[in-house]
Amino acid sequence: MALMIALGVFYADLVRVPAALSARQGVYSLMEPAYVAMAVPGRLIEQISESVRLGAALQDENNQLRKQNLLYAAQLQRLPQLMSENTELRRLSEAELDVPAAVRLVEVIGVDPDPSRKIVIIRNEPGVKLYRGQPVLDANGVMGRIHRIGRQTARVILLTDRTHSVPVRVNRTGIRAILNGTGDADELSLQFVPEKSDIKIGDLLTTSGLGNDFPAGYPVARVTKIRRLGDDQFLDITARPIANLDRSRFLLALFDRPASSILLRPEESQNGETR
């Protein structure tokens, strides 16, 4: 009986009997919600899988962007320093063009731990023949001169060290004197200037070229204070270094070798060692 009904339905569908088509459409309409309902779990599973996959990809991308952001942030932290170094190197390059003698760029890598001394340590590059007493400049003016030399480093004694002296002249008038370090980072003492000398606050002091230590004409300091001490025949004059003694990282070693040894204060012994 069931076989007969099935054959009848198959035949009616085959010959496109209108009644059979209507019945088939009605059955499909009745079953359509069931088809839709059965498709929902599969679609949900597919959407969840896609969301998980995209979520993992987005998480990986987010982590990567976070790492890059941290890297860029770290690099930006060094930007002010790099800009400062770039400015300093540009000024040194410009200063090098103004220096008639040969120069070599050197880098400050440390300071002397002795608080009573004003000494910085520079890197001694292979093949660079630094010498004792060699003048050292920054982009502004005279820093000091090389005091000792090792295989990998050299020590530069700064203008403000108590044992350092340099012959100078007042740029405006030509008056010659000796500029001594005081141990103070911002203060120098100008010695042996007669009481009636024409010298003013703000006068530029440059190397005089005497003493065979520094070539003439390099800026050293500016006069900041002048005092007359009663009946003393000499003025008490204070000057401030022009070079950035405590800030310059890159310096210029001046290759204009003097004919005689470095001019030292009485505190220095004949062999150059500090007593």
The alpha carbon of residue 35 and the mean position of all alpha carbons in its chain are separated, in whole angstroms, by 71
3-state secondary structure of 17: coil
Residue ranges in the chain modelled with pLDDT below 50: 78, 258-275
Model pLDDT, residue 129: 86
The architecture (CATH level 2) of 106-265 comes to: Beta Barrel (2.40)
Which residue in 234, 230, 222, 166 sits closest to 197, CA to CA? 234
DSSP-derived pairing of the beta strands 219-227 and 204-207: antiparallel
Domain regions of the chain by residue span: 2-76, 106-265
Model pLDDT, residue 266: 37
First to last CA, the chain: 129
Alpha carbons 81 and 149: distance in angstroms, whole number = 29
Model pLDDT, residue 143: 94
3-state secondary structure of 189: strand
Model pLDDT, residue 187: 95
Model pLDDT, residue 146: 94
